[in-house]
Amino acid sequence: MSGPEMIITNAKVLTMDEDNPRAEAVALSGGRILAVGSREEVEALAGPGTRLLDAGGRTLLPGFVESHLHLVLGGNELSQLQLGGVHGFDDLARLFRDYAAKNPELPLLMAQGAAYEILDHPVTRQDLDQVIADRPIAMMAPDHHTVWANTAALKAAGILHGAAMPPGHVVVMGSDGTATGELLEFEAFSPVLALTGDLHLQLGIATGGEPDPWPDAAQRAKDKQKVAAGLAHCAMHGITSMVNMDGNRYTCVLLKEMEQEGRLTARVKVPFHFKPHMDLTELDRASAMAAEFQGEWVTSGFVKMFMDGVVDSRTAFMLHDYPGTTERGAPLFEAERFKDICTEIDRRGLQIAVHAIGDGAVRQTIDGYEAARLRNGPRDSRHRIEHIELIDRADVPRLGALGITASVQPPHPPGAMDFPMSTMDHVFHRHRWKDAYLTRTLAEHGAHLAFASDWPVTDVSVMRGIQAALTRKPYEGCQDERVGLMEVLKAYTAGGAWAAHMEGLTGKLRKGLAADLVLIDGDIESIPAEQVGRTGIALTVAGGRVTHDPSGMAGGAG
């Protein structure tokens, strides 16, 4: 008997397991947790083959569960121009021109993270023509629901003179009959993104379809390189499980190949993306994905839908008109049809996750889940709503009553992390601020919480997310929406695992569960809340394998 492979000792272990909340040491063997207990108990298990790791009093947690991100898109974007925090024409132009000089071969110069107010007026193609006119360039808003393109990009994409679009997707036209350069929602900007040559990586979010032709081995190798970059980025932030919020079978195949090649460093759950134009029979593809991918590393078993757009472009569906307008956005699914769709997905035993941002979208989504439950009878469905940026008070208790998970993002409330407060005035009536970006209120009324970043919409850093959750200030005259440290940690671990139907595998440090853990570079209970975001990750272990080890304390990531 050579003993467990690794023992992490002298740690402040926060297990997220109510039966055994605190410990000092953990032993790992065969990709599983062998023991959680006191230093003496666990060290006594050591054998000649055991690597003994002194945590130096640092906090050890279950590996983070990222409940809402876009791994393939995020990995792809890591190599694109980053415009987060950039303001004003001069900086914008300088950065784009530098990037162009360094990337002479790229058919489209694509930038990410462009704030809606990056210039002091709405961005037009003419603005971007002044940045670079002779090559196609485009930039995406942080929420990934708006793209601005220059004239060369619009021409190359064939949409300079407009294009027919499904409801909610808009090539914005100017009074001169040409596109202004602003493109709202996926279908409108996908012709521009197609110029990059990797549009097939966008299918999981754009159409829910599969690449045609199916990418050959060489193309898949390139795609896997991008996914690997995304996975390494996530491992650096302590993430060992993630719920990918776009997808198709191709996404699962890439991940499965990476698992077989020993390159998959996190558990990934991938949905079937159901679009409004699809016939119910297309759900056969969702059931087939669920049946094909059931391992511990790559799973499906859920269906993602979008009920509306986003707040900044006013495509979120509200119960009341936006301030100073006669517009309230529109739902992407008709209410009765949505109930039928939910009922059919639920009948198939699949989970549902719906992006719903406006209070109208949230209500219509709850109505769909409620109808499914009434028609099919209750089951352990754990349907979830993504974002919930505004909710009508009457709907708050319905989440808990129906067992719905509130999958919310602590970095998203304006003012909480990177998003500007200007959104609040622009989008929400002052008397509704008390109903915007609720967390504690939802939890107090019985909703399950799962926290996430929506990366690449915001920084994937869980530590920054924890800080945002702990330090968010109440909006003027509104209640405090923070939850306590342990609840925050739970929403990033056990809560997320439960919401993903993965609680039998991960999310807690408990004997028999997977050896998924993260060692924080400090004692999280004594770090001031406003410094948590700067605290590093000392070690990430997924399934017993070290995936991030910046100081070499466990002999390096392998």
CB of 68 to Zn ion, least distance (A): 6
Question: Which residue's CB is nearer to Zn ion, number 61 or number 239?
Answer: 239
Question: Which residue's CB is nearer to Zn ion, number 11 or number 242?
Answer: 242
CB of 388 to Zn ion, least distance (A): 13
Question: Which residue's CB is nearer to Zn ion, number 245 or number 371?
Answer: 245
CB of 304 to Zn ion, least distance (A): 9
Candidates 53, 245, 316, 427: give the one binding Zn ion (CB under 5 A): 245
The residues, ordered by sequence, that sit 6+ positions from 90 with a Cβ below 8 Å of its Cβ are none
Q: What is the C-alpha separation between 228 and 415, in angstroms, rounded?
A: 32
Pairing of strands 517-520, 59-62: antiparallel
Q: By CB under 5 A, what part of segment 471-490 binds Zn ion?
A: none
Number of residues interacting with Zn ion: please give it, by CB under 5 A: 2
Q: Which stretch binds Zn ion (CB under 5 A): 38-46, 237-245, 276-284, 420-428?
A: 237-245
| Phi/psi of residue 203, nearest 5 degrees | -60, -35
Question: Which residue's CB is nearer to Zn ion, number 454 or number 481?
Answer: 454
Helix (H, G, I), strand (E, B) or coil at 500: coil
CB of 246 to Zn ion, least distance (A): 7
Q: What is the C-alpha separation between 39 and 29, in angstroms, rounded?
A: 17
Question: Which residue's CB is nearer to Zn ion, number 245 or number 332?
Answer: 245
CB of 245 to Zn ion, least distance (A): 4
> How many CB atoms are closer than 10 A to CB 326?
6
Please answer whether residues 453 and 460 qualify as being in contact, where contact means their C-beta atoms are separated by less than 8 angstroms: yes
Question: Which residue's CB is nearer to Zn ion, number 50 or number 407?
Answer: 407
Q: By CB under 5 A, what part of segment 54-73 binds Zn ion?
A: none
Question: Which residue's CB is nearer to Zn ion, number 231 or number 245?
Answer: 245
In 275-300, which positions are buried (b, 16+ CB within 10 angstroms) versus exposed (e)? bbebeeeebebbbebbeebeeebbbb
Q: Which stretch binds Zn ion (CB under 5 A): 152-160, 238-246, 484-492, 505-513?
A: 238-246
| 242 counts as binding Zn ion under rule CB under 5 A | no
CB of 354 to Zn ion, least distance (A): 11
475 DSSP 8-state letter: P
Token digits of residue 466: 């924890």
Helices (H), 19-166: 39-43, 71-77, 89-102, 125-131, 151-157
Pairing of strands 146-149, 170-173: unpaired
Count of residues for the chain? Answer: 558
Q: What is the C-alpha separation between 558 and 553, in angstroms, rounded?
A: 13
Q: Which stretch binds Zn ion (CB under 5 A): 41-49, 199-207, 245-253, 363-371?
A: 245-253
Q: By CB under 5 A, what part of segment 440-469 binds Zn ion?
A: 454
Would you tell me which residues interact with Zn ion (CB under 5 A)? 245, 454
